[in-house]
Homo-oligomer: A and B are copies of this chain.
Amino acid sequence: MSLAGMIEGMAKESKAASRQLRRVGRAQKDSTLELLADKLIDMQADIIKENEKDLTQARKAGLSAAMIDRLAMDYNVIRGMADGLREVAALPDPVGEVSGMRKQPNGLLVGRVRIPLGVIGFIYESRPNVTVDAAALCLKSGNTVILKGGSEAIHSNLILSDLLEQALVETGLPPKAIQVIPSTDREAVKILIGLDDYIDTIIPRGGEGLIRFVTGHSRVPVLKHYKGVCHVYVDEYADLQMAREICFNAKVQRPGVCNAMETMLIHKGIANDFLPDMVKRFRDANVEIRGCPRTLELSQRIKPAVETDWPAEFLDLILAVKIVSNMDEALDHIEQYGSNHTEAIITNDYNRSQRFLAEVDSSVVLINASTRFNDGNQLGLGAEIGINTSKLHAFGPMGLEELPTTKFIVYGQGQVRD
């Protein structure tokens, strides 16, 4: 069969399974997740053997050490996946809740019920544990899912797919509720995102190139973010010691992720007190600093920034720094170069903190805290399936509660429209 025929067939089966999932209650979904957790532990030797095939291939292909690290599955990774499944099983059911039930003047009782989106297409790279995490969140929220992982993880993903299917079958759920596309062909992505008759939502996770390709070609609505160009603005009324800890954490604690700080904006009134020490601390941690002309006057250890540094997502130990004359200039800079992802202000001034919250157009806006907190778990949403910087549906981190939608239900007694 052609690749297109195969993927369309999977999408049709996913839609049919989605209809069956509408009738399934919480207990059955949870028992599938718990059974899968057991299977992962039971089969860990086999999983590691399949993962080793991917790792061998990856080393041959000369993938970076970071990529190989993300790909590798050991006993700890597998135990983490099993624990994650049990945690999702323990969360409340995100579908079924009825809200806003009110009588209309004509006696109709109108409300909304939370329902699954339907069929989700999930496109991602490297980490094979994402296969299980995403599948669990989709199943718990009553959605079926078609997973397209990175070609470098194909052996790992296929054995996980087998275990997923076994767990579904043994707990009486439709086996096609979770499917992994068994192909490494990149064309599969293009085919998947064209199937708007069967798929309700596409969630891509990966590099900006992949996301832009998906957004540019998809006929299905996409929940995504291109990149995280996150700013911390250190106001003139900041607690400078607090500002140092937060800025260091936001840049250094995990520089390769989307909620790390990429640009630090500093009010000119405290630049002299704040910047030289901060630069020293960053340089000691091997952070390269690229600054505006005013910063160069305050430290010898700053390289001149170029225009392309301001909208850059470095994902590395590199930081752009700019001194601003006032808060308006900071807000203008964020408006121009930001990615609507995560922005923080460090200040003890009440009015400025409130103004920053109100005017910054980002999915998460923080006062006196690190940008690294834009994460479903950290914000209290539980496990996260992704972050959305398009504003529809769920702006920001998306956990279990963000995967459903609502429909209207109406109880009548024969009402007709005048």
Contact = CB atoms under 8 A, between A and B. Distances in A.
Interface of A: 19, 22-23, 102, 104, 108, 110, 113, 115, 117-118, 196, 200-201, 215-216, 219, 221-223, 239, 242, 245-246, 248-250, 253-254, 335, 357-359, 361-370, 372-374, 378-380, 390-393, 395-397, 405-417
A7 B393 CA distance: 27
Given A23-B359, A201-B392, A417-B378, A366 B221 contact: no
Contacts of A390: 200, 221
Contacts of A411: 366-369
Nearest to A358: B22
Main secondary structure of the interface of A (DSSP, over half): mixed
B357 A415 contact: no
A381 to B, nearest CB: 9
B364 A408 contact: yes
B249 A417 contact: yes
A414 B239 contact: yes
14 contacts: A118-B391, A201-B391, A221-B392, A246-B414, A250-B416, A364-B407, A367-B411, A368-B411, A369-B410, A369-B412, A373-B415, A393-B393, A393-B405, A396-B408
A409 to B, nearest CB: 5
Nearest to A223: B392
A363 B362 CA distance: 30
Given A23-B359, A359-B23, A405 B380 contact: no
